[in-house]
Structure 1
Amino acid sequence: MPTPDFIVELRQKIGQDSLWLAGATAVVLRDEQVLLVRRADNGRWTPITGIVDPGEEPAVTAIRECQEETGVICAVEGLAWVKAGAEKAFPNGDRCTFLDHTFRCRWVSGEPVVNDDESSEVGWFPLDDLPPIAEELLLRIRMAVDFDGRTRFVASQDSAG
């Protein structure tokens, strides 16, 4: 997965110190199915995710990443969940923490194809028959599916959302 240029430039200044980055997750729904990608770097199935570019709106990131990764055009219906993740350490030693914005999105047009080198497979999966997927990502999907117009968030260190 290519590292965005702005992060490469930051890393030249701060080395491998932890970065605080905004991320976006597009949970794209069509009928009773969700669009998933199999990541090329680790083989895991995920909804569409990406890093918000400087000055970019997170909802725009969700739409852009969906089109870049799958060729599918989606529309954002709402912000379902905002959640800070745990710090991640990458094999090269870089560290970062993501503030994820999970959006409920609807399919507008296009059929999924592997559209870049970040994914090895893409496809629609029935919500009641998903491939193995990390619990953290299942929770994002659930939050988007159950979205009732109210954004979920954690309001204290002791709360789960």
Structure 2
Amino acid sequence: MKKKKNKVKEYLPLYLMMLPGLLYLLINNYLPMTGIILAFKKLNFSKGILASPWAGLDNFKFLFSSKDAWIITRNTLLYNIAFILVNMVVGIAIAILICEVKNTKMKKIYQSAILLPFLMSMVILSYIVYALLSAENGLVNNTILPLLHIDPIQWYQKPKYWPA
């Protein structure tokens, strides 16, 4: 028992380094699996997810009997195909361009600038996007559009900018 305790103590820093990765896996891979259960339940908020009665395939019948189901499916597939293709082409192009940069300091700056959004929290990114697109004091409406002689755009109030 003492040997096992010493091993745990010895590897404690490694376990602590592993903790963020395990939390990430738990939050992003296992927590969404409750959606699989919800898909087959008739959710009653007062009873909770597990105590709610089973609906079988009724939820799917309801979804696919609506006229919007096929539009939603089409949009999802098209957006995913477009994002995959654009990300691959742009990612490979940027990788090639960065490999061609001779100055190692500039190469590191470019790599950091590209990776920074992936490492930032989505909450912070949403605030940055809001700061760019805000109707009253956003960078786009107050700086870029006046230079192009375009009236400010109400990005968050008009559905045409957020197609479903």
Higher RCO, 1 vs 2 (CA within 8 Å, ≥6 residues apart) = 1
Q: Tell me which protein shows more helix as a share of its residues.
A: 2
Larger Rg: 2
User: Could you tell me the TM-score, scaled by structure 1's length?
Assistant: 0.19
User: Could you tell me the TM-score, scaled by structure 2's length?
Assistant: 0.18
